[in-house]
Amino acid sequence: MPLQVDDLKVYYRTLRGDVRALDGVSFTVADGEIMGVVGESGCGKSTLGKALVRLDNRMKHVGGTVTVDGQTLPIADDRAMNRFRFTSVSIIPQYAMSALNPTRRIGRLVADLLDARGMSYAATRPELIRRLALVGLPETVLDNYPMELSGGMKQRVVLVLSTLRDPALLVADEVTSALDVSNQRAVAQTLVEFRDRGYVRGMLVVTHDISLVYQIADTIMVMYAGRLAEKAPSDAVVTEPLHPYTQLLIGALPEVGARFSERRLTGIPGRPPGLRNPPQGCRFRARCPLAVDKCAEQPPFVEVAENHHVACWKAGS
Amino acid sequence: MRRYFGRKLAIYTLTFVVAVTLNWIIPRFMPGDPVLRMLTRTSVSNPDAIAPMRAYYEDLFGLDVPLWKQYVNYWVELFQGNLGVSVWLFPAPVADVILDAVPYTLALLLPSILLSWWAGNKVGALAARSTWLDNTALPVSYALTATPYMWLGILLAWGLGIVAGVFPVAGGYSFELRPDWSWAFVGSLAQHWFLPFLSLFLVAFGGWAIGMRNLIIYELEADYASYLAALGAPRRLIRRYAFRNALLPQITGLALQLGVLVSGALVTEIVFAYPGLGHLILQAIQNQDFFLLQGAFLFIVIGVLVANFVIDIVYVLVDPRTRTGMQGAT
Amino acid sequence: MTDTEHVAAPGVPAIAEPTVGRRRETLHFALRNKKVVGAVVVILGLLVLGLVAPLFTDHGPNEYVGPPAAPPSADYWFGTTTFGQDVFLQFANGIRSTFVVGALGGGLAGLIGMTVGFVAGYRGGLVDELLNMLTNIVLVLPALAVLIILHAYVGVTSVAMQALFIGLFSWPWVARAVRAQTFSLRSREFVDLARLSGMRPLAVIRREIAPNMSSYLFMTFILLFGGSVLMAATLDFIGLGPTDATSLGLMMNSAVHWSALHLGLWWWFVPPGAAITAIVGALYVMNVGLDEVFNPKLREM
């Protein structure tokens, strides 16, 4: 199985104390599964994505394990992780448009990377060209400098490069946020195609755009304030959400054809709790219309229906 | 790219015109008859000089020649390589006196600029990744770059030259030797060259080290560095890219620092009585030899312009962004 | 990870001018920054020395008061010159003129550079092109060479004049940097708001753009101050500075001229250069410290 996460805790160090960005997260991603990870800003989804590949120096691994293909990833050890990066676990970063060295031709960049990692560029080149063609890029792109390419083209190059070694797990971090709609669609379709062709075995698509994720993901996982709220097949999440937060989230989505005069968009009142001193118990409690006293105790993330996990006392009842 | 070079050439040409015009115009700021003034000043030092000087001056400042013609005359003389006759070293032409001194100044400037740039960049890059080096090299670099050039020259001259007696502190070569290509002479040249060179090298080094360290830290936080790290690239590769990218603004910085480096060389020469342009200028000032001063000024300006142009060319060759029509850095 | 304490309501542009609270917070961090505090101590210390020491002595810096070429002693803390002048007094007076030249020259250069930069960045177009050309020309002209020529004919008789010349040639890099920042700020919403409300361009620059760059401008002034001090010392050393007043560069000039090196009169030439190094070095360090204070990102690391 490409990914198994057990009670992962990753905090951010700050001068005024630790921010508990990921506070005990457990889930699995199966072979060939595309999982969308959604939630508000600050819910921890980006931290999750980054923690699987590369902790930066502000983050610290406080507890829990990450297992890829049966091997525990040494996510706290930067050096040890290098072995797994790019080969087992890869990422398409949020800043994909500026992710390429502006003073190096694309082909040379790839060659430098592969050579530095002990892989043969010459041997990989044919496959590289094939994949570039798959995303609609000509072979000549390898001779270009990044600034000679459009934003969408750079995004596609990064897509191909990140998946070049057929990683077991791919994390796509907000890959469509900076794109226009038609580019978004192209990227989304490419992600699915890569999975279908077996270039990646498991995928985490981190985004705040539920509608996008609904189109391409098999499973959707909703996060709130550093914890998991709900995880279920996409259809189930969108048509029968069981967690109050998910329900409000889906309810807040605009419908095509709906007009403001007929149906007002409702947001969710209030804001997520600060994560330096998170509240005890369920973190959605303050904003939840269904909250009761029992919610002062953190509900466990349990399977209440087939493949449907929720962390709420009121779900499944 | 044609636009880029076109603009640069326009600026350099304009600057040269401004410099020449300055040279020509400033004497006219003085009240009274400029020709008379200059002649009376120089008559005290060297009576033989008066006749040729009068002829030269009349052409350029004489009140019977219309202004625009004076200006044109000045340019004509310039293009014929005639910078006048030195008053102090009469009858030597200014151009010859200057050309005798230029090799010494170049011998100081070129090695010290290039070596300090290279060494400073290397150490700065190392300091960016080694905390130990950062804590030692960085304060030293700040102290060095804050040091006035002539003071370091004085300290070195006194410490290594006089107190320790290891190096000579005056002249370009030993006074009893005659210039020729013997080992003794070349050795003497090198001996006299070393302290002024070291002085220039150290002060400039500090500035480059600090700059490079900061640039590398900035580059290492760039998106491309993060992405490469996320793809498991070894630190070596990321550092190599960061270094290459950080060199680009350092090349531009070299052009910006030329004025400072040149003035540093001038004062260092004065400290060591090293027979280059700086020493010459000091003598010219003390002896009120205006022709020599003007000639030296023009030479320095030309040198700086040429150096700027060379750096511009190097930059275009090195930064791919300029070649594809996008502005790399102006 | 949002510690959501300051959530701006959507649609309201970011606060343009620093509030009283922000200023106090900046001061708080500044006073706690070791680099800033250390640098200020050094600079103030030398300044006080320069201001106070001459008041306590009854003789002038250039008077022949003591035994010639005497090493430091209780009477003459920095010894005497070959003529018997009090080196310490010369030193203190020299520091004063150094500070004056630094402030005036740096201030003038800053004024010119900022004006040129703001106008070029704000107006754009032909004005920008012309100012750019001017900036580039002054940038390329080697300042010392021009000053040499100017001095030879016009002469520099006072510290103020020296500061004027220095200020006239040190501004190009400031103009460039200010221009770049103005460009980016010009297109921000609060500037548009100001212009729409009919504010005249000069007022827009003064009240909307400049305050946002205030920290940067302050740091620029510090660098200009340091540069000015170095250039003045260089000019004085060549003999192109005011010769009636004492200055640190002039002290070094005299020392070299009168063979202090060969005679081993180190107390004559070591202190002046040391003082300049200390002042300029402190200014640079202060700049680094202020960068940390003004950029919270650097603070947290």
pLDDT tens digits along B178-231: 777 777 888 888 888 999 999 999 999 999 999 999 999 999 989 999 999 999
Interfacial C residues in 166-185 facing B (CB < 8 Å):
173
Which residue type, as a one-letter code, is found at position C118? Answer: F
pLDDT score recorded for residue A264: 63
The helix/strand/coil state of A215 is helix
- Which residues make Cβ contacts (< 8 Å) with residue A94, sequence separation at least 6? A46, A173, A174, A175, A177
Rounded percentage of chain B residues whose pLDDT exceeds 70: 85
pLDDT of residue C147: 83
Q: Is the pLDDT of residue A145 over 90?
A: yes
DSSP B169-214: -SSSS-TT---SSSHHHHHHHHHHHHHHHHHHHHHHHHHHHHHHHH
B 212-231 near A (Cβ less than 8 A): 222-224, 226-231
What's the pLDDT at B46? 59
- Chain B residues within an 8 Å CB radius of A56: 226
Answer whether C261 sits within 8 Å of B12, measured CB to CB.
no
Cβ A102–B224 below 8 Å, yes or no?
A: yes
Confidence band (pLDDT; 50, 70, 90) for C54? confident
Is pLDDT of C13 > 50? no
B83 Cβ neighbours under 8 A, 6+ residues apart: B77, B93, B94, B95, B98, B291, B294, B295, B298
Is pLDDT above 70 for A184?
yes
Contacts of B233 in chain A (CB under 8 A): 113, 116-117
Q: In chain A, what residues touch B231 (CB-CB under 8 Å)? A: 85-86, 90, 113, 161-162
| Interface probe with B: pick from A52, A95, A101, most Cβ of B within 10 Å | A101
Residue with the larger pLDDT of the pair C141 and C29: C141
CB contact (8 A) between residue A42 and residue C2: yes
Nearest chain C residue to A16 by CA: give it.
Answer: C300
Three-state DSSP at A117 gives coil
Dihedral sign for Cα A100, A104, A105, A110, please: negative
Question: Does the distance separating the beta carbons of B233 and A117 come in below 8 Å?
Answer: yes
Query: What is the SS3 assignment for C167?
Result: helix
Helix H or strand E encompassing A61: strand A59-68
All residues at 6 or more sequence positions from B221 whose CB lies less than 8 Å from its CB, including other chains? none
pLDDT above 50 (res A25): yes
Nearest Cα of chain C lies from the Cα of A199 at a distance, in angstroms, of 32
- A116 with B233: Cβ contact below 8 A: yes
Residues B278 and B200: their CA atoms lie apart, in Å, by 13
Q: Sort out which chain C residues have CB atoms less than 8 A from B26's CB and list them.
A: 149-150, 153-154
Residue B239 corresponds to which tokens in the numbers above?
Answer: 């550092």
Taking contacts as CB-CB distances below 8 angstroms, the residues of chain B near A90 are 230-231
Q: Which of B320-329, C145-154, C265-274 has the lowest mean pLDDT?
A: B320-329
* Contact of C217 with C234, CB cutoff 8 Å: no
Q: Which residues pair with A19 in a beta bridge?
A: A12
Among C142, C239, C256, select the one facing B259 at the smallest CB separation: C142
Inter-chain residue contact B163 with C252, CB threshold 8 Å: no
> Which of A11, A275, A283 to mutate to probe the C interface, most C CBs <10 Å?
A275
C-alpha span between A10 and A226 (Å, rounded): 9
pLDDT tens track for B113-165: 999 999 999 999 999 888 888 889 999 999 999 999 999 999 999 988 888 87
State mean pLDDT over B77-88: 77
Nearest to C152 among B147, B258, B290 (CB): B290
Q: Give me the total of CB pairs closer than 8 Å, taking one residue from chain A and one from chain C.
A: 24
Which chain A residue shows the shortest CA-CA distance from C1?
A: A42
- State how far residue A42 is from chain C, nearest Cα, in angstroms: 4
Which residues of chain C make contact with A275, given a CB cutoff of 8 A? 1, 3
Q: Model's pTM, two decimal places?
A: 0.86
The structure tokens 């001193």 sit at A277
Span B231-253, pLDDT tens digits = 999 999 999 999 999 999 999 99
Q: What integer pLDDT is reported at residue B61 of this predicted model?
A: 55
Q: Which chains touch C (3 or more CB pairs under 8 A)?
A: A, B
Touching check for B244 and chain A: CB below 8 Å?
Answer: yes
Residue type, B41: R
Q: Higher confidence at residue A103 or residue A269?
A: A103
Subunits close to B (at least 3 CB pairs below 8 A): A, C
Q: In Å, how far is B306's CA from the nearest CA of chain A? A: 27
- In the predicted model, what is the mean pLDDT of chain A? 88
d(C-alpha A291, C-alpha A312), whole Å? 10
pLDDT tens track for C151-190: 777 766 788 888 998 999 999 999 998 888 888 877 777 7
**Would you state the pLDDT for residue C301?**
41
Quick check: B329 pLDDT over 50?
no
Answer for the pair A64, A11: CB distance below 8 angstroms, yes or no: no
When comparing pLDDT for B257 and A297, which is higher? B257
| Record: contact A274-C300, CB cut-off 8 A | no
Report the residue of chain B nearest A112, measured CA to CA. B237
**Is the Cα torsion angle C157, C166, C137, C211 positive or negative in sign?**
negative
Q: What is the pLDDT of residue B34?
A: 52
Taking an 8 Å cut-off on Cβ atoms, the answer to whether B232 and A82 are in contact is: yes
Interface contact C226-B285, CB threshold 8 A: no
Contact residues, chain C to chain A, C-beta under 8 Å: 1-5, 7, 299-300
The residue of chain C nearest to residue A47, with distances taken between CA atoms, is: C1
Alpha-carbon span C50 to A27, nearest angstrom:
71
Pick from C108, C172, C184, C111: nearest CA to C142: C172
Check A99 against B227: CB less than 8 A apart: yes
